[in-house]
Amino acid sequence: MSLWNKFKESLSGIRSESFSSRLHQKINESFPQYEEDFHLKAACLSGLMARVAYADMNICTKEEQIITHSLKTWLEMSEEDSLRLAKLCLDEVKDLAGVENHLYCLPLRETLPEEERFKILETLFAIAAADENIENHENEEIRNIQKGLLLEHHHFVAARAQVIKYLGSLKS
């Protein structure tokens, strides 16, 4: 069964007009050269990255750069395609704010091993730290994603430790 079929099956009972299908559809239209599994993974990863970047209601240039680089690395795509995907997810970020994390986390936790899901947390903390200040609501957004990815608290602590100097609550 393809990743998309697993995703659709797991979402049965969830409202079909949710944003995740809209983001997925836009990615399908914008990147027809890629396979369906790519489209789903791109929607989930870019959706989570955009949520963290927008958690403080401001997306800085450095956050955009880290998202672009992260998408290029995670999805093994060209620089040009990763720039387009980053722009797409960031343009849609206000709509993403109303979507539950589990819509993006479910396919990732069903298909990725724990080590890769942990790397997603590291990536999200790097995005949050891009402006050199991780605010509490960014921290909590990542904590919710950590739970959605079925990772334990020690994963959250280990990923956050890599950017601890940027935690706003620890700054004087």
Burial 19-55 (b: 16+ CB within 10 A, else e): bbbebbebbbebbeebeebbbbbbbbbbbbbbbbbbb
pLDDT of residue 13: 40
- Cβ atoms of residues 21 and 8 within 8 Å: no
What is the C-alpha to C-alpha distance for residues 153 and 159, in angstroms, rounded to an integer? 10
Average pLDDT per 10 consecutive residues for the chain, totaling 172 residues: 51 40 85 92 93 90 97 96 95 70 85 96 97 93 95 97 85 52
In CATH terms, the fold of domain 18-170 is TerB-like (1.10.3680)
pLDDT of residue 61: 95
pTM for the whole structure: 0.84
pLDDT of residue 8: 47
pLDDT of residue 12: 42
What is the C-alpha to C-alpha distance for residues 42 and 30, in angstroms, rounded to an integer? 11
Q: Terminal CA-to-CA distance of the chain, rounded, Å? A: 52
Domain ranges of the chain: 18-170
